């Protein structure tokens, strides 16, 4: 039977919709980790950046600071309740928000300098199509940052799970996946208190 991506999207919405109102209170001390990760993306004043799967917008203030008032910050999420929390947290002034699947973005080709995706890639129903779509909207040599405030081993332990080699965030798997979708992995960090993979958009 064909895999139904619409069902997957509904499952993602239901999962995160139910958690949205409590999201920021679960890990209230993550702010500095987001700021530090954004600092490594290499954004410049005036740049255009997308927070893909922005959730409650925890990265948005740091992204806005990095691109300055002349830059553009976009925040996209599949879950309406998450976008409502961006507003409730008072972060909506930092970015243009829109409800969208990052695998089908209402954006033209090569319009972005960078994409920041925190806690996103393992939730994408089809990671390959999602990463390919992100490559479509980023200019050649633009950046992709895949971030999590906790490394893979610590996250698995927190959830009472084992690390598995087929985890798409494991370096060999991710490197291959990125190469197949228009990206080149340029740095990879997976420590207890940070996961950060940085990739560059390959020339078309
Ligand atoms: C683990 S949360 C992380 C939220 C936020 N980036 C953060 O770091 O707090 C994952 C977010 O990705 C969103 N998401 C998952 N799949 C998505 C997709 N295909 N398109 C857009 N957003 C998606 C979820 O709705 C959720 O808000």
The predicted-structure confidence for 4-51, as pLDDT tens digits, reads as follows 777 889 999 999 999 999 999 998 999 999 999 999 999 999 999 999
- Domains in the chain: ranges and CATH: 2-201 (3.40.50.150)
pLDDT, tens digit, 9 for 90 and up, residues 170-185: 999 999 999 999 999 9
pLDDT at residue 195 in the model: 97
Distance 3 CA to ligand 1 centre (A): 21
Lowest mean pLDDT among 54-63, 85-94, 138-147, 163-172: 163-172
**Distant-in-sequence, close-in-space partners of 23: CB < 8 Å, separation ≥ 6:** 55, 56, 82, 85
Bridging pattern class, strands 194-201 and 183-191: antiparallel
DSSP conformation class of 160: T
pLDDT at 138 over 50: yes
54 close to ligand 1 (CB < 6 Angstrom): yes
Distance 117 CA to ligand 1 centre (A): 8
């Amino acid at each position: 039977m064909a895999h139904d991506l619409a069902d997957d999207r509904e499952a993602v919405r239901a999962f995160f919709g139910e958690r949205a109102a409590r999201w920021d209170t679960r890990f209230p001390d993550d702010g500095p980790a987001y700021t530090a990760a954004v600092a490594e993306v290499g954004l410049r004043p005036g740049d255009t950046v997308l927070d893909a799967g922005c959730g409650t917008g925890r990265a948005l203030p740091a992204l806005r600071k990095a691109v300055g008032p002349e830059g553009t910050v976009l925040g996209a999420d599949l879950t309406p309740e998450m976008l409502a929390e961006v507003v409730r947290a008072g972060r909506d002034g930092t970015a243009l928000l829109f409800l969208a699947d990052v695998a089908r973005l209402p954006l033209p080709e090569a319009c972005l300098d960078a994409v920041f995706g925190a806690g996103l890639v393992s939730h994408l129903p089809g990671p390959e199509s999602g990463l390919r779509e992100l490559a479509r909207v980023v200019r050649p040599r633009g950046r992709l940052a895949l971030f999590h405030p906790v490394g893979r081993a610590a996250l698995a332990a927190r959830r009472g799970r084992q690390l598995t080699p087929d985890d798409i965030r494991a370096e060999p798997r991710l490197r291959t996946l990125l190469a197949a979708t228009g990206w080149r992995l340029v740095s990879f960090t997976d420590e207890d208190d940070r996961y950060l993979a940085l990739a560059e958009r390959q020339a078309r």
